[in-house]
Each structure stands twice: as structure tokens, then as C-alpha cells.
Chains A and B, each alone.
Chain A
């Protein structure tokens, strides 16, 4: 018998390596491909932005001079405080409103909950500037209210941006808060009741603490969405400049790419900070609900239910009204003066017309395919092929959520419109739009995939290996079928976002690759508001049709998997 090792120092740090098999080679290839994609399309372009912010217009290195100019030029520097102000205000208003709404949906038996849920999801199907357009059609200088009452509320500026952002961010906050409010343990409420706690005390000591992480998360998500949004402030901001529109002004208006890069880097800071703080906080959230938890079954309270119905009805009514206004204004001769029915506004004569809609659908469909494959295989690589690079790959995969679309778009100009670079081949193609969308929305898809993979028995691959079955076969025959609901949800998420995004593509659309969301912006800019409304209607309609197809497909998947799955509860319901 050899002498047993007493301390860790007695043992070598190296483990005895297994001989490299063909499977290992394939695993490493996957890791390398994934790392290359993230490096080439995320890290390298972002580094370009950082570098360009340190150069002057002629490409000479000037250190922090751009930053000094940015902060010392009041007209531009105002965009920082403006951005922080409207984002913070949008956050407070949205989360407050969404909390009451989510409470009504999850904790009461209020009637018409399904209708309210659907109405609140409408903004997910439209570019953020559509919300703003709707508000302008009602409260703008030539708006319905302004014209009929003669009272101009002055919607252009901070007021309008906040209102538009509240609409735009509402469904995102609602989804997070609904999930948080649903995950509760009825036994806590039973305990509170047996201890004689008043409803208010129960709310403060049981309900609120139970959803505090959800609240924090909703706050960060809304703040990030609002501060990185471009469409709404562009359409309704007027002279009120925020950072996202400032980047656009510098780049598109003044051709000042260095200053655009500088504002981009500054805009990255609050977004990255919000993301980091959220990650740290979410990590603390563990096991609020255990397998022994009892679900809370809401009971009827006539008075409470009725007042909440009024509350939700008002919000849902506003949501629907905005879209109704867009729809009607696209179908009448001249909003708000001549309400004669016409379809002439659907006969687009500018901004690519139907070609741009068709482009959008193609880009969205391909983004869904490429994004789903990349996030799912990427999630598999990070979860199951442990290498020294795993930590870095994970970090890169969750980074995109904090990269504003404008910043990514500008980064892609620097990377793919650089003379002499082989990457130039991609410029002006639909491919670059697809890549940009995939990277822009990468994180949510990736996290959905890793969550689904984590919920699978970790021994599946080991069983396969022990039986001499290669890992890719087990991946195809077991992992993919089990994760199918998540895979479909991820593709839906990519599709809808690619349909409506503006910020990530505004800089990289080119003649021939016009997109519908960009067309809305251009038509509105050109004063063709009715055509902008018509195009918005078509975007929303496409989204709704695809979402309905998805719903049907999900029913099919669920029916097929019902035979073997007692529950596919990890399906992120309504991630889209």
C-alpha cells in the first residue's frame, strides 16, 4: 500500500487526462466556433466603439478630449441628465402601474383577466415609436384632442417620452411582476391569517417581501429599456435630446462618428451598471418557493375585484386606444379632419414600401432560426462542455442585454464599413441585419436555453457516454426534444423583436435592405404620417399572426409531449 495523501499539497494539481477522442475534438470545435462568433460580432465591434471615442475626426488619437467636449458642451451634455430623468420617471410610473395590474391578474378573481392580459401585451408587437405616434395622433399639434378641444397639452418633449416609454415598457414589467406574484406559498397567508394580521399588514409583511426581487428586476429592466430606447424619443421628443437620439444626431446628422462613439460609451455605463446590480441581486434569490409550497388560490372580494377591474380597464383601454388610433388613422382620408374610409395609405410610395415589410419578415424569420440555433447550442456548450473558457463565454453571452441597440449599430458601422476589411462584404446585406438582431437579443434566448438545460437531469450525457453513444446523438434524441417548448419560445422571442427593433438596425440598413420599422420612422420624418400608421399596422398584424401560429404550434408541442411530460412547467410562458 502506498502512503495515503494527507493534504491537498501532496497531490498533483493536474488530473489524469483522458485520451482525446473524436467527440472531444467536436466539443472543442463547438466551443471555438461559439467563442469566435461572440468575439467577432460582439467583443470586437464594442472595442471599436471604445477606440473610436478616443480618436478625432481624422483618426488621430486624442485621448479623452471627446469626453471633455461632451461633458463641457451644454447642448450635448444635457442628453445625459435628460436620459436619466425620463428613464427614472418612466421606471417609477411603469413599475407602479404594472404592479397593480399584475396583482389584479394573479391574485384576484377579477373578471376579464384574460382580455386584460392580452391588451397589456400589445406594445410587444410594435416598434417603440408606434406608441409615440399614437400619442401624437391624439395629443399632438394636429391630434384628435388638440383639434377638437383646442387644448394643446404639449406632448412633445419629456412628457411625451415618459408616456410613450410607459406604454412600451409596461408589458415587460408586467411579465416580471406577474411571475413574481404567481410564485408564492399559500401557507404564508394562512399563517398570517391565523396570527390575526390585517390585510394591510399581510400585504406589507408577506406580499411585498415575497416579490421584492421581482420589483427590483422590473425596475432595472424598465430603466434599461427606457434609457436605450431610440424610437419613442425620436418621434415624440422634439427638441428634448436624450442620449440615444444624440448618438443618432451626431452620426446621421453631423457625420461626427467620434462623438457618436463617445456618447455610446457613456450610454453603456448606466446600462451595464443596471445589469450588474440586477445580476448580483438576482443571485440572492433562492428557494422562495419550494416543492412543498401550496399555490395561492385567490378568493372573490366583490369590492376589491370591481375597483381593480376599473383600474385595469382604464390601462387596457388606453393600450387598445393607442392601437385603435393608429389603425383608424391609417384607414381614413386625413386624420383628424376627414374620416372617410380609404385604403390609399397602404399604397406605399416611399421608404421601400412593401419591399421593406417583406425584408423585415425575412430578417425576422432568419433571426429566429439563427438566433435559436446559436443560443441553444451556445447554452449547451456553456452548460455541458466545461472548459477553461466557459466562464468567459457565459459572461459574453449575458453581456448583450446591457448593450444599447444604438451602440451595437454604431459598432457595426465601424466594424463592417471599414475600408479594406474582409468584413466589409457583409455591409449592406440582410445578413448583417440578422447578425445584429441575433447579438442584440442574444441574452434572453441564451438564458432561456440554459434554464431549460439546467432543469434536465445532469446524468443524461453520462448515461449516453456509458452506453457508448456519442454526445451529439444524445443531444439530438433527448436534449432537443425535451427542450422543444423552450426552443419554440426562444424563436418566437427573436422573431417578434427582430420585427420591431429600430435602434440596432437604424445605422446598418442600406438601399435594398430597408426594414419596416425603419420605414415607419422615415415616413413619419417625411410627414407621411398616415403611411407610417399603415406600416405600423402591418408590423403589428404580422406579429399577431405569427404569435397566433406560435400559440397553435405550442398546443401541438404540448399535446405531443403530454404523453411523456408530467409537466413542462419550465416553459417561460409569454416570454415573447
Chain B
């Protein structure tokens, strides 16, 4: 039954409840061999529960888990052939780095020479060879997490599970470890599932992102796809920054009114005339200044606040035609300086129609 082309992991209708709380509402998903997948979502969305069900550490109420074509739903964790890295590292404090990495090998009837070679090879890969005889407490957080990674990979598992592996680390270490994990994963070609609530991390690392919310999958796609074409307002809000505008569908197809202004939005969305819709645009997609003049969906707005954020400047814009609606707009710091305006100034802006997404209003809350 198992064939070479079988997905590395296939989930079918996986559902889980904790007494009355439904954590997963029937998740189906297929992961190709060698893929790096991120489960992304806010806390409580079910992403960690899903990972633990795949690992066999949690048992689902319904649905099946397949690995390489084999139904593992009823297998205990030890028989599923995966390695896992936890947020807390969970390194054994009383064993040296080397013994930690060797932990899964020692029950596998390998001779000690083979174990030692494998341990050295793995530690060398993450640049920790000289720390082999130290104890975990003597290493930094980032180093400990790399040891945990080696330990999980030592028995050469078919699947690597990462449960928020970078969340406990400080920002700088997190950045470098992102690259390192991704490089290692590419080199070994091991199918990897990582759980994270950090959208930036997911965008930077994943081949495909599974955006989850309230026990359901909102969207599955490559990072650029999820970022550029969010399928739901939730995805739009959760991945990256997004401005939402309350609007009313116009009688002209592909247009909607915000206050008294009629705006053209992305094609492909239709709503009955005069029904409520939500328009969305990212802060960096709003054009400000002379370049906005004469463009499609050109408006004027007052700069209500200016926030300097290093490489770019964030403007809070109040739309002139409709004082209620405010928009965040990111302008490159140099471009903002060139504009020579400040708080209170009225500037032309443009909401490019190809960037202006439209969603049904009901689900935008």
C-alpha cells in the first residue's frame, strides 16, 4: 500500500475536543515529502494540539493520521518515527550534550563507535562539536535549542516536529536560528512541521503556511500567496498589517463606496448592490504624495500622526471625505523626508485597485 509518491503526512478529518471545547474541527491536510510546513495561528487556534496529535502525544476524537501512506492513528508515539523539539528544549539536565544527542540511539542496538560518530557528525553540523561534554545548563538558549534539534534528528526520523522552537529565545538569536534550521532541513531533506504564532517566522521559513483559526484551517499556501492573496479577513489581519475599510457594494460591479467616495477594488468579488462589504489594503500599498495624484482611487487625507520606525515611517491618515475612517500607511523613511510634510498636512493618497481586496462584511469582525 505505501508508495513512493504517498504524502509524508496526510490528515483526514482530524477533530479533537476537550470536554465541551472543540479544539479542532475536522482538519484535512496533505504534506509532501521534504516540505517545510508551518502551522500558524493565534494561541488557542488548535495548532499545537494538531501537532501533538500527529506526534501521538494527544489522541483525536475523530479522523486519521497517515505517515508515508501508513495509518498511524492507533500507534503509540514510539512507533511513529518522528523527532520532536519543544519550546522548553526539554534537554535532560543530568546528561551531557553528547549523551542527550545519543539518547535515542542507545536503545537502537548500535555499537558505541557508531553512536559516537553520529553524535559528532550532528553536533558538527550545528557548530557545537566542542560543547559535546558540557551539560545543557552551561550552554546558551540558542545552543540548547540546537542540541535539542540534534537529539531529535539523531535517529534519522522521517518527520521533524517543531513546537514553537524559537519562542523562548531573544530576537537576535531567533533570527539566526531561523536560517540555521531552514538550512539544516534543506540539507537533510526531512519533512518538517513547525508550529508558531509568529507570522514573520512562518513567512521566512515555510514552504507552505497553514493558517489556523478556532480549530479550522483558514488558508493553506506559499508565504507570498498567503501574504498577497489572503482568502479571509482573518488571514489578512493575522499575516502582516492590514487596514480595513467599511464599505457598501456599489451598483457598478467591482466598485464599492466608502462614505461618499467610490473605490474600485480587486476583481473577482461580487456582492449585491448596497450590501455591506469590507475593503482591505496593506499599509505599504498606499501611495502618498505627488505619485498618488491622478492615480486610480485617488483621495486626499490628513496626516493625523507620524511614527518613526527606523527604516520606514508609519502615518496615521484620516480620510478627508470621511473623518471616521483612518488608515495606517508605511512610507520608506527617505521617501517621507522627501515629501517635506508633517502632522496635520493634507496629502494626496491613492489606494491602488489591484491592492484593494474585498471581503463580505459579516465575516470581517
Contact = CB atoms under 8 A, between A and B. Distances in A.
Interface of A: 1-8, 10-19, 21, 23-24, 457, 459-460, 462-470, 473, 477-478, 481-482, 561, 563-566
Contact of B59 (A11, A16, A462): A16
A16 B20 CA distance: 17
Interface stretch (B22-30, B122-130, B222-230): B22-30
Interface string B311-326: 0000000000000000
Contacts of A18: 56, 59, 74-76
A462 B151 contact: no
B26 A2 contact: yes
Contacts of B59: 15-18
Contacts of A1: 26, 28
A3 B76 contact: no
B78 A468 contact: yes
Interface residues of B, number: 53
Given A16-B59, A17-B59, A466 B19 contact: no
24 contacts: A2-B13, A4-B25, A5-B62, A6-B25, A11-B15, A14-B61, A16-B74, A18-B56, A18-B75, A19-B75, A19-B76, A457-B88, A459-B86, A462-B84, A462-B90, A465-B76, A466-B80, A466-B84, A467-B151, A478-B94, A482-B93, A563-B135, A564-B94, A564-B135
Given A5-B17, A14-B61, A462-B55, 9 more contacts: A5-B15, A8-B22, A11-B15, A18-B74, A463-B103, A467-B151, A473-B107, A564-B95, A565-B137
Contacts of A477: 92, 95
Contacts, number: 142
Contacts of B88: 457, 459
Contacts of B161: 466
Contacts of A2: 12-13, 26, 28
A8 B74 CA distance: 22
A19 B94 contact: no
B293 to A, nearest CB: 47
Contact of A21 (B76, B92, B107): B76
Nearest to A471: B78
Nearest to A567: B137
A23 B63 CA distance: 25
B217 to A, nearest CB: 9
Contacts of B94: 478, 481-482, 561, 564-565
Contacts of B92: 460, 463, 477-478
A13 B61 contact: yes
A204 B55 CA distance: 53
A489 B78 CA distance: 34
Contacts of B151: 463, 467
With a 10 A CB-CB cut-off, give which of A3, A7, A462, A477 has the most chain B CB atoms.
Answer: A462
B82 interface: yes
B250 interface: no
With a 10 A CB-CB cut-off, give which of A7, A13, A17, A463 has the most chain B CB atoms.
Answer: A463
Contacts of A465: 56-57, 76-78
A275 B127 CA distance: 55
Given A16-B73, A23-B76, A467 B83 contact: yes
Which 10 pairs show the lowest CB-CB distances between chains A and B?
A467-B104, A564-B135, A15-B59, A459-B90, A4-B25, A465-B77, A4-B26, A481-B94, A11-B61, A2-B13
Interface string B15-47: 111011110011010000000000000000000
Interface string B120-164: 000000000000000111000000000000011011000001000
A154 B83 CA distance: 74
Contacts of A14: 61
Contact of A15 (B21, B61, B104, B108): B61
Given A2-B13, A16-B74, A17-B74, A466 B108 contact: no
B246 to A, nearest CB: 28
B67 to A, nearest CB: 13
A10 B15 CA distance: 10
Contacts of B13: 2
Contacts of A482: 93-94
Given A5-B25, A467-B104, A564 B76 contact: no
Nearest to A24: B76
Interface in B73-119: 73-80, 82-84, 86, 88, 90, 92-95, 103-104, 106-108
Contacts of B76: 18-19, 21, 23-24, 465
Contact of A8 (B17, B56, B83, B104): B17
B77 A12 contact: no
A13 B60 CA distance: 10
B74 A462 contact: no
B74 A19 contact: yes
Given A4-B26, A463-B86, A566 B107 contact: no
A3 B78 CA distance: 32
Contacts of B135: 563-564
Nearest to A481: B94
Contacts of A464: 103
A353 B344 CA distance: 99
A17 to B, nearest CB: 7
Given A8-B17, A15-B60, A17-B74, A468 B86 contact: no
B38 to A, nearest CB: 20
Given A15-B61, A463-B86, A5 B22 contact: yes
A478 B93 CA distance: 8
B61 A466 contact: no
A467 B137 CA distance: 22
A566 B73 contact: no
B300 interface: no
Contact of A467 (B60, B95, B103): B103
A334 to B, nearest CB: 58
B84 A16 contact: no
B26 A3 contact: yes
Contacts of B57: 462, 465
Contacts of B93: 482, 564-565
Contacts of A481: 94
A23 B80 CA distance: 15
B219 to A, nearest CB: 14
With a 10 A CB-CB cut-off, give which of A12, A19, A465 has the most chain B CB atoms.
Answer: A465
Given A1-B28, A12-B62, A17-B59, A462 B77 contact: yes
B216 interface: yes
A21 B76 CA distance: 8
Contact of A16 (B61, B80, B106, B154): B61
Contacts of B25: 4-6
A353 B107 CA distance: 54
A467 B104 CA distance: 5
